[in-house]
Amino acid sequence: MKFGKSICILNVGGTKYAFPKDVIKDFPLSRVSRLHKCASEKEVLEVCDDYDRERNEFFFDRHSEAFCFIMLYVKYGKLRFVPQMCELSFYNEMIYWGLESSHLEFCCQRRLDNKMSDSYIHFSEEEVKLEEELKGENLVTRVVTEREESKWLERMRSTFEEPTSSFAAQILASVSVIFVIVSMVMLCVSTLPDWKTSENNSVEEHRYNPDSLEHPSGIIEAVCIGWFTAECIVRFIVSRDKCEFVKRPLNIIDLLAITPYYISISMTMLTGENSQLQRAGVTLRVLRMMRIFWVIKLARHFLGLQTLGLTLSRCYREMVMLLLFICVPMAIFSALAQLLEHGLDLESPNEDYASIPAACWWVIISMTTVGYGDMYPITVPGRVLGGLCVVSGIVLLALPITFIYHSFVQCYHELKFRSARCTRSLSAEFLD
């Protein structure tokens, strides 16, 4: 934008700062530097709250003292919290001006992490979209649109999606958990030899069909699958966005847990009792074991499993770092172990270390301090190497786990806060 004067004035909460227009172009704060790229006054007003063309003054309705500390960071390169100001409020000011938590000094970063862990406020994507919609349309129009949606559909959605939203939702969640437990028990018990013998008196293994409705286990399994299928269909029908419903990880897991049953039933009906069933037996057993995904359905009803999934999704960089910390020492120690135990033409070489891939197994169980004892070094240099491998494993694995732990605590408080907020809002809605 072509400024009217060579001096630009920033008015932040009543405090004025004057800068040459050349400084504005390369200003360290992204929001301020965006002013130079604005081509019209309309674009300027998207960056600041008001603009005076005559005085070339830009108005920002923000915390003046917080901006003063941010300007000290621009000048001296050190950013600390404003005394007697909430850490989260100052963090919001930082985000507004284009800074991140990494710009804070280490002591202030710890204060911010502790504060966010104690009272973490998370805005989901739906809430962000909702705020954007409220800015662009009249509030009255939105109220009318909300009233058009039937109340029973909203209650059904809350009942199936939020287990803590109402008493009916808690009962439904309890029934679903019972079906998951029964399904897991039946799947585990059906693999016992005595159970197979009692249900199958036939000598030919390919004739055994655990999904048959003639057996009690088949009836119980069919009832459980019917419940899961009905629950998934109802949740799909009452969902707001069908595409978003299909993309959710838990819904994909539900589909993976239900589909193998219908595939195995279809294959059994198509193959019948002929010789093709023997070739399809392995496929049927693999599909049947895929039902172990049912246990992940418990994440829909338990906060701990949801926290675990959210932590893994947010800490994928740390997980990659952890994998890297394992693979690099594994390559080094396995090569040295194979050389010291087998590759130096010893009188009695250790055959357990005949190759580097075989030695990798020993490195993994040593670095993780499991030590099954199935293979171990017998030479003095090999034992010294083993000691170094164990010590390095303790140190290297502890480094990324610290970051994962802090992320786990943060995710737990976030989900706990969201659950409590949802419960309060729905309770108020039903009371009204």
Query: Does the structure show a pLDDT above 70 at 410?
Result: yes
How many other CB atoms sit within 10 Å of the CB of residue 91?
Answer: 20
CA 237 to chain centre: 26
Per residue in 263-285, pLDDT (tens digit) is 777 776 776 544 444 455 566 66
Query: Does the structure show a pLDDT above 90 at 119?
Result: no
Query: Does the structure show a pLDDT above 60 at 20?
Result: yes
Across residues 66-90, what is the average pLDDT? 87
The confidence score (pLDDT) of residue 332 equals 93
Going by pLDDT thresholds of 50, 70 and 90, the confidence category of residue 305 is: confident
Query: Does the structure show a pLDDT above 50 at 51?
Result: yes
Q: Read out DSSP for 214-264?
A: TSHHHHHHHHHHHHHHHHHHHHHHH-S-HHHHHHSHHHHHHHHHHHHHHHH
Per residue in 161-208, pLDDT (tens digit) is 777 667 787 788 888 888 888 888 887 777 777 665 655 544 344 444
The confidence score (pLDDT) of residue 133 equals 52
Domains, the chain, in order of start with CATH, read 7-124 (3.30.710.10), 162-192+208-301 (1.20.120.350), 307-421 (1.10.287.70)
Spatial distance between the Cα atoms of 188 and 193, rounded to a whole number of angstroms: 11
The confidence score (pLDDT) of residue 318 equals 86
Going by pLDDT thresholds of 50, 70 and 90, the confidence category of residue 431 is: very low
Q: Read out DSSP for 357-412?
A: HHHHHHHHHHHTT---SSS---SHHHHHHHHHHHHHHHHHHHHHHHHHHHHHHHHH
Going by pLDDT thresholds of 50, 70 and 90, the confidence category of residue 134 is: very low
The confidence score (pLDDT) of residue 312 equals 84
Return the closest-CA partner of residue 371 out of 384, 358, 382, 386. Answer: 386
The confidence score (pLDDT) of residue 272 equals 56
Q: Which residue has the higher pLDDT, 133 or 263?
A: 263
